[in-house]
Chain A
Amino acid sequence: MAKTIVEDNIDILVAGAGLGGTGAAWEARFWGKDKKIVIAEKANIDRSGAVAQGLYAINCYMGTRFGENNPEDHVRYARIDLMGMVREDLLFDMARHVDSAVHQFEEWGMPIMRNPKTGAYLREGRWQIMIHGESYKPLVAEAAKKSADKVYNRICVTHLLMDDAKENRVAGAVGFNVRTGDYHVFKSKAVIVGAGGASNIFKPRSVGEGAGRVWYAPWSSGSAYGLMIEAGAKMTQMENRIVLARFKDGYGPVGAYFLHLKTYTQNCNGEEYESKWFPELQKMVGKEYLDPELSHATHRPIPTCLRNHALINEVNAGRGPIHMVTMEAFQDPHLEEIGWHNFLGMTVGQAVLWAATDVNPKYENPELTTSEPYVMGSHATGCGAWCSGPEDISPDE
């Protein structure tokens, strides 16, 4: 018989302990030494959230200490790459703090690869660094477990509670234990929502038994948005969807392949197709966002969504499938190893799929396709509840 369990007198409740929630608990402990911090997590904090499998790269690292980038460079990059759908104050703030988080991870034992020539972190691209991140989540979870007074695993938070005494103020949250059905009430002075985005809003490309092998975690139920919307938060840029180019059927990541292994895409005739679509895309979005000449001469990115659009256009024009040319890079045993490690560190399913279907990227070029759209919890997308940024760089509104 399910019970009701009340946890009272909490100072800070963290709802959702993925990478964001665990970090929030850690930081909160420093600023609130004697505060009561409680975490409510839907799964097991050691392997939960989108980083449960690990990550093979940290996709946003300035490298200011190595003289590589400044925060404002990142704001410029992201503004073009996401075609203006960004909150620049939040981006700037994140960019100026991200390096210290990465250095802290390294001190905790995260294996970050180094460039043997320069001694700096090994770059995958301008913003990405390569890590052996299989245990990313367990490491960060350990920090959170040390910081929180109590960690409730297997509690799915469903609603935020509003304060009776003060208008427009959240006073806690309620949820249920996914195993026992017990009803949990958390009364808290502050609540940090660290919940995730949403998978399976759009029909996944993989069906049947593959339905769970979506790119984003299949257990992501959109709580990051649902909790906020029901509590009356103002949402911004919710039109944002993320669609990714990925290895077909296994959703294997392509970042390290493009950037580090220098593999490239081609259509069924073995031709480069992307740039052929640029004039048409430029007409659609304007030179402001797509300027291939300027991009060629500088670090200015070509928006990822437009590159994906070119891929879809090419397939629609009857020149699919699109292949990733791996046969050249994989002749180098070191790069071959990195190519496989890249999957094992964050998308093991792709390695299983290739093993099961006898795909050897050394002797054949695997197929690429675009994923279905997702509403993300993070991954640098611009949507979410309105929140005010830091005082020194935010607008007054």
Chain B
Amino acid sequence: MPTFVYMTRCDGCGHCVDICPSDIMHIDTTYRRAYNIEPNMCWECYSCVKACPHHAIDVRGYADFAPLGHSVRVIRDEEKGVIAWRIKSRNGETDLNLLAPITTKPWGKEIPQLRNASAPSQDMRDSQLLYNEPKYIRMDEGGLHTLESNGLEMKAGVYY
């Protein structure tokens, strides 16, 4: 179910070209509109659909057995932190509006710059703990699990 572009809505801005993981959304050099150069390598991941500021990209069924007439449309809003979907089946029996959060925090502000975090001590470097452990692991009963702490022993071979 590859993507296709509504030529009247596309202004050739190239957001879809920028994001497509398959690198198959290109700008037509004559018409200056985006198009899917290789529909059979489209993962239908909707990355371009979500990125398009003009909602000019849609996804169709396979030409050999799914006629047009359905729609699965999406609006992703980073500021509000939600994604809204509308699914309409071809016969009109399924018509769903679905809303889901994409983040619980203000977009783009919550992830710290680790370069500015305090440097790890030698003790930390010698331990098995990763960044933010043990704080984040929150095992409630002590530190990182080891074979010893869990009453296990190393045994050779595959079967035991």
Complex interface: chain A residues within 8 A of B132 (CB): 100, 104
State the Cβ distance, A249 to closest chain B Cβ, in Å.
Answer: 9
Of B100, B111, B150, which contacts A132 at CB under 8 A?
A: B100
Give the A interface residue count (CB, 8 A). Answer: 78
Contact B66 A356 (CB under 8 A): yes
Contact A84 B158 (CB under 8 A): yes
Complex interface: chain B residues within 8 A of A30 (CB): 114, 117, 120, 131
Interface string of A64-76 (1 = CB under 8 A from B): 1101001110000
Contact A217 B114 (CB under 8 A): no
The DSSP consensus for interface residues of chain A is helix
Interface string of B35-75 (1 = CB under 8 A from A): 00001111111110000000000011111111101111010
Complex interface: chain B residues within 8 A of A26 (CB): 114, 131
Interface string of B116-154 (1 = CB under 8 A from A): 010110000100101111111111110011110010101
State the Cβ distance, B48 to closest chain A Cβ, in Å.
Answer: 9
**Which of A160-168, A344-352, A371-379 has 4 or more CB atoms under 8 Å from chain B?**
A344-352
For residue A208, CB closer than 8 A to chain B, the reply is: yes
Q: Other CB < 8 Å A-B pairs besides A109-B106, A132-B101, A356-B1, 7 of them? A: A26-B131, A31-B125, A64-B140, A132-B100, A134-B76, A356-B69, A358-B94
The 10 A-B residue pairs with the shortest CB-CB distance in the complex, in nearest-first order: A109-B105, A356-B61, A349-B44, A356-B66, A109-B103, A355-B70, A100-B136, A100-B137, A135-B102, A30-B131
Which A positions have Cβ atoms within 8 angstroms of B?
Answer: 26-27, 29-31, 33, 43-44, 46-49, 52-53, 64-65, 67, 70-72, 84, 92-93, 96-97, 99-100, 103-104, 106-111, 132, 134-135, 139, 142-143, 146-147, 154, 178-179, 208-214, 217-219, 337, 340-341, 344-345, 348-349, 351-360, 390-393, 395
